[in-house]
């Protein structure tokens, strides 16, 4: 099991990263919460990781800290929730909002996440409620912390990130256009677009 990775950040295109560890490049998938906290390209980065091995895929998932990884590992234990959906959940809302939605039986918010239907939302609430006891009310779980680095072509990058999370291209474009404003970084734009979906 690969539990941690530390190296130089070579590429980042949400949700995928390429990290150079002594000449060996590791492809890592991360949530947008972690993505927003990444350093600039060429700088060192350290992530907690979870390695998924299946017959058809071997994939390394990275997390800003052990709490986010713990939530990811708890999510993939739920019937019908795989790593891809777990990553989309952690990207589509903050950990605080997710914990709150589970504790308040808020299926209406959960079904707005890509790939989460009513039955999955209900299953998440039932199976996650007891497992989330160790997370308290989620007040200390807000992992979203956008960086101040400006990214070129913010609209295109924001749309690509939303599509990677499971939103349809037309829906991603609509979400981004509705949230776009002058001077925004791509991280801020993605955050606003996701926030608008949860609230609508």
194 pLDDT exceeds 60? yes
Is the distance from CB of 196 to CB of 179 less than 8 angstroms?
yes
Question: What are 47's strand-pairing partners?
Answer: 5
Quote the pLDDT of residue 41.
95
Percent of the chain with pLDDT over 70: 86
**8 A C-beta contact, residue 72 and residue 61:** yes
The mean-pLDDT minimum among 146-155, 169-178, 188-197 falls in 146-155
How many beta carbons lie within 10 A of that of residue 90, not counting itself? Answer: 27
Confidence (pLDDT) at 83: 92
Q: Number of folded domains in the chain?
A: 3
**127 and 72 belong to one structural domain:** yes
Q: What is the pLDDT of residue 143?
A: 42
Instruction: Assign 3-state DSSP to the chain and report helix, strand, coil percentages, each to 5.
Output: 45, 20, 35
Same domain, 73 and 110: yes
The CATH number for 171's domain is 1.10.8.10
Residue 137 has a pLDDT of 53
More confident residue, 63 or 114: 63
Q: Identify whether residues 73 and 124 lie together within a single domain.
A: yes
Q: What pLDDT is recorded for position 96?
A: 79
Q: Are 120 and 136 in contact (CB under 8 A)?
A: no
Q: Say what the pLDDT of residue 73 is.
A: 93
**144 within domain boundaries:** no
What's the pLDDT score for residue 51?
Answer: 94
Distance, in Å, from the CA atom of 49 to the CA atom of 83, rounded to the nearest integer, reads 12
Q: Among the listed ranges 54-63, 75-84, 126-135, which one has the minimum average pLDDT value?
A: 126-135
User: What is the average pLDDT score of the chain?
Assistant: 82
**pLDDT tens track for 9-53:** 999 988 899 999 999 999 999 998 899 889 999 999 999 999 998
Question: pTM of this prediction?
Answer: 0.69
**83 and 131, same domain (yes or no):** yes
Domain that holds residue 184: 154-199
Q: Note the pLDDT of residue 18.
A: 97
Cα separation, 120 vs 72, whole angstroms: 16
């Amino acid at each position: 099991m690969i539990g941690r990775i530390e190296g130089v950040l070579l590429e980042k295109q949400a949700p995928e990263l390429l990290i150079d560890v002594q000449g060996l490049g590791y492809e890592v998938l991360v949530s947008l919460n972690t993505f927003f906290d990444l350093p600039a390209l060429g700088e060192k980065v350290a992530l907690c990781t979870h390695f998924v091995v299946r017959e058809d895929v071997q994939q390394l998932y990275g997390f800003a800290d052990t709490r986010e990884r713990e939530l990811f590992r708890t999510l993939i234990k739920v019937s019908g929730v795989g790593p891809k959906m777990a990553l989309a959940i952690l990207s589509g809302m903050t950990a605080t909002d997710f914990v709150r939605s589970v504790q308040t039986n808020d299926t209406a918010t959960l079904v707005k996440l890509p790939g989460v239907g009513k039955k999955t939302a209900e299953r998440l609430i039932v199976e996650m409620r007891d497992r989330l006891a160790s997370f308290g009310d989620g007040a200390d779980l807000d992992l979203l912390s956008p960086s101040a680095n400006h990214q070129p072509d913010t609209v295109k990058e924001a749309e690509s990130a939303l599509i990677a999370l499971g939103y349809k291209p037309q829906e991603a474009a609509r979400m981004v256009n509705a949230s776009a404003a002058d001077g925004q970084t791509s991280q801020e734009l993605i955050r606003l677009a996701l926030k608008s979906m949860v609230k609508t």
